[in-house]
Amino acid sequence: MSVENSEVVDRYWAKTRSLTILVLVLWAIFSLIIPWFAGALNSMSFLGFPLGFYMIAQGSLIVFVLLIFFQNWRQDQIDDEFGFVEEEEG
């Protein structure tokens, strides 16, 4: 592998690693930090449910699904930027 290709691969993995760290931090916030404060949020209600319960039972699941779509979309952009595009079988 040439030095130029090595640098491209290093930049690719640096961006991929940064994206993964960002998604994991957001996941930790919505799976660990927000549930920690669920008791304080229960003083308010949303659609008749305590807000803390609703945020944990529904909101966090919505965020997790959105995180999956965001990571996939952003990783596709990174792959396109560095020319690591998968061939579609047809």
pLDDT tens string 21-65: 999 999 999 888 888 877 888 888 878 888 888 778 888 899 999
Q: Determine the average pLDDT of the residues in 2-11.
A: 82
Confidence at residue 38, expressed as pLDDT on a 0 to 100 scale: 79
Task: Compute CA distances 57 → 30, 35, 47, 49, whole Å.
Answer: 11, 10, 13, 10
Cβ atoms within 10 Å of 54's Cβ, excluding its own = 19
Residue 50 and residue 71: Cα distance in Å, rounded?
30
Domain ranges of the chain: 3-82
Average pLDDT, the chain: 87
What confidence score (pLDDT) does residue 43 get? 86
